[in-house]
Amino acid sequence: MQSRTCRASGQWTLILVLLLGWGAIYLSGLFSPALLDDADSVHAEAAREMLVRHDWVTLHADGIRYLEKAPLLYWAMAASFLVFGVSEWAARLPLALGCLGLIVASYALGKRAYGPRGGLWAALAVCTSPGIYLFTRFQIPDALVALWLTWGCLFFLRALQENPPSRIACWGLAATAAFNVLTKGLIGLLFPAAIVLVFLTLTRNLRFLARMRLLSSFLVFLAIAAPWHILAALRNPSQGAVRGFLWFYFVNEHFLRYLNKRVPRDYDTVPLLIFWGLLLVWLVPWSAWLAPAIHDLGKNWRARKRPGGRVQADLLFAVWALVIVGFFSFSTRQEYYTLPAVPALALLIGGWLAREEEAPLDPSLRRAGRIASWVILAMGLAAAAAGVALLASSRAAPPGADLADLLKRNPQEYALSFGHIFDLTPRALGAFRGPLLLLVVALPAGAIVNWWYRRRGAPGKGNVALALMATVLLLAVHAGLVRFSPILSSKALAEAIQPVFRPGDTIVIAGEYESASTLNFYTRQPVHILHERSANLWYGSFFPDAPQVFETQESFARLWAGAARVFLWTDTSAPPQLAGLAAYELARSGGKYIFVNHAGPR
């Protein structure tokens, strides 16, 4: 009884550690920075309009049907707005809670596969993953795809270990696939199905499918996934020349996008080698142990058919990662498309770290652990040296300077989600001395402590040092993003418009809607777009009920000459759209401007 109590106490201690890590990293980032232009505020605005329109089936952005996305993330944000009010932190709360669920799922799956320590190290790797953190700084659903895949693999591993598989395991797997379909479309079904089929093929156990309650599981899947799709199809049928929801959502947004033939083609793709390499970056520093984990799987390959063994778990997680990376290797891709593979690699690594800790005297494990610690030490010292060089080259910015004036634009790099980092100059770096200093201190400190503990045969303490180091680095990244956010957000300009905006006034974006979508979210007003139909609003703008928000140069000139006040957002101080027109600058921030056609109160 006492032993059982001690084990329960130890388990709750591990869970508390994970909760504290999640709180330090994710709760601290709820309230800043401002929502960013493009996907971040577009998706938050779609959730806000759900409440305004009382329509939880058809998404809208700027009053236009927005049918290209699955609804679950938007439902979650809209529910958060309903409970807490419309705000930045309420928009971010669902993804933060999704990350908590992902950490808990990683712990539970790692514990089932490798024991409590394996679960702990896998969950810590997920918690401190730079990839998961970076791509939950704006509202995209890929971390939630990882969440449902992790829970699904937990149910599948449980089914493998049961005789016969229980309803909970089989129906749980079906339910997670359905929630994933509601999160990001058909890949929510494709990924778990491919993972299961490839795994069972490699273990020569395809007959196991017959035991997985396929009929009842399929009914569970349909009960969850089908209703929204049916309602969306009924409410958005073909109208004249406009094809309906079923064509646009399934054909255009799934199959044609995968084949790089989606209309309109308004997206870039990341080169394949960068795409693969970034998967390792998303797990730094833990990816240093991926090679020995894969080596162990290869060494024990013949044991892959042994039910319930560690080798089967290793194989399942390796297949999971390869299915996702392989699928997108033949398609258009963004760097965050590999996020659903991050927990799989974290679990592989967590299992190896648990074996290293359980057998500290095993010469092969100890040698591999030391090699990895040397790699981390070398990388940490090199990165710290680069940070010192950047600090030395940085220059203090003039008081009150706009960060945008200190940057050098490199639009050719913006295909990457964080391509704006290439805009930094020595003068701009002066605004980031604090985060750089944290990096310079934390990187070598964590790497050295980890190396020292592993040399003394205490790898677990080395892992804790790395987790603390990674936490500090993510906090530094957050501080840097807060300082850089005026470049990526138009919130300050929206706040300049709000006090002087009156009914009948018009806000116009000189460019695509996504360029300044924060104006829509923060002012709570519809915006007009001085640009051809494109991007997120392209398809919905052809429906007969779409508001007429797209302006031509001629219609804009008439609007500007009218008696009502017009606010023009632009990213240049001398916009060609205002050539020959009287205009007054109302505000500027982050290299963006608001011009107005009438000075003073109206």
pLDDT band with cut points at 50, 70 and 90 for residue 165: very high
Whether residue 5 is predicted with pLDDT greater than 60 in this model: the reply is: no
Residues 180 and 190: their CA atoms lie apart, in Å, by 10
Same domain as 425, residue 514 = no
Same domain as 230, residue 142 = yes
> What is the mean pLDDT of the segment spanning 456-483?
92
Whether residue 125 is predicted with pLDDT greater than 90 in this model: the reply is: yes
The whole-number pLDDT of residue 182 equals 98
pTM for the full predicted model:
0.93
Of 447, 465, 489, the domain-final residue: 489
309-329 burial string, b = 16+ CB within 10 Å, else e? ebbbbbbbbbbbbbbbbebbe
266 part of a folded domain: yes
Percent of the chain with pLDDT over 90: 69
Whether residue 11 is predicted with pLDDT greater than 70 in this model: the reply is: no
Same domain as 510, residue 483 = no
Structure-token match 């709750």, residue found? 12
Same domain as 391, residue 351 = no
Residues 562 and 124: their CA atoms lie apart, in Å, by 59
> What is the mean pLDDT of the segment spanning 148-168?
94
Same domain as 483, residue 502 = no
Mean residue pLDDT of the chain comes to 90
Same domain as 456, residue 323 = no
CA 596 to chain CA centroid, Å, is 36
Same domain as 350, residue 293 = yes
Structure tokens of 566?
């017009």
The total number of structural domains that make up the chain:
3
The whole-number pLDDT of residue 1 equals 47
Comparing C-alpha atoms, which of 440, 447, 437 is closest to residue 468? 447
539 part of a folded domain: yes
Of 489, 504, 531, the domain-final residue: 489
Whether residue 173 is predicted with pLDDT greater than 50 in this model: the reply is: yes
Same domain as 283, residue 152 = yes
Same domain as 473, residue 506 = no
pLDDT band with cut points at 50, 70 and 90 for residue 34: very high
Domain containing 158: what range? 99-358
Burial of 465 (0-12, 13-18, 19+ CB in 10 A): buried
Same domain as 499, residue 414 = no
Q: Which residue has the higher pLDDT, 267 or 520?
A: 520
Whether residue 570 is predicted with pLDDT greater than 50 in this model: the reply is: yes
Which has the minimum average pLDDT: 228-237, 265-274, 553-562? 265-274
Whether residue 231 is predicted with pLDDT greater than 60 in this model: the reply is: yes
12 part of a folded domain: no
Whether residue 415 is predicted with pLDDT greater than 70 in this model: the reply is: no
Q: Which residue has the higher pLDDT, 296 or 133?
A: 133
47 part of a folded domain: no
Whether residue 370 is predicted with pLDDT greater than 60 in this model: the reply is: yes
Same domain as 253, residue 129 = yes
The whole-number pLDDT of residue 418 equals 64
> What is the mean pLDDT of the segment spanning 98-117?
95
Q: What is the pLDDT of residues 573-600, one digit of tens each?
A: 899 999 989 999 999 998 999 999 987 6
Same domain as 513, residue 469 = no
The whole-number pLDDT of residue 91 equals 97
Q: What is the pLDDT of residues 473-510, one digit of tens each?
A: 999 999 999 988 998 999 999 999 999 999 999 999 99
Whether residue 601 is predicted with pLDDT greater than 70 in this model: the reply is: no
Task: Indicate the DSSP class of residue 239.
Answer: B
The alpha helices in 433-513, defined as continuous H runs, are 433-455, 459-488, 491-497
In SS3 terms, 36-91 reads as: CCCHHHHHHHHHHHHHHHCCCCCCEECCEECCCCCCHHHHHHHHHHHHHCCCHHHH
* CA angle (141 as vertex; 101, 149 as ends), nearest 5: 50
329 part of a folded domain: yes
66-96 burial string, b = 16+ CB within 10 Å, else e? bbbbbbbbbbbbbbbbeeeebebebbbbbbb
17 part of a folded domain: no
74 part of a folded domain: no
32 part of a folded domain: no
The whole-number pLDDT of residue 123 equals 96
Task: Indicate the DSSP class of residue 141.
Answer: S
pLDDT band with cut points at 50, 70 and 90 for residue 12: confident
Of 328, 358, 388, the domain-final residue: 358
Neighbours of 20 (CB within 10 A): 12
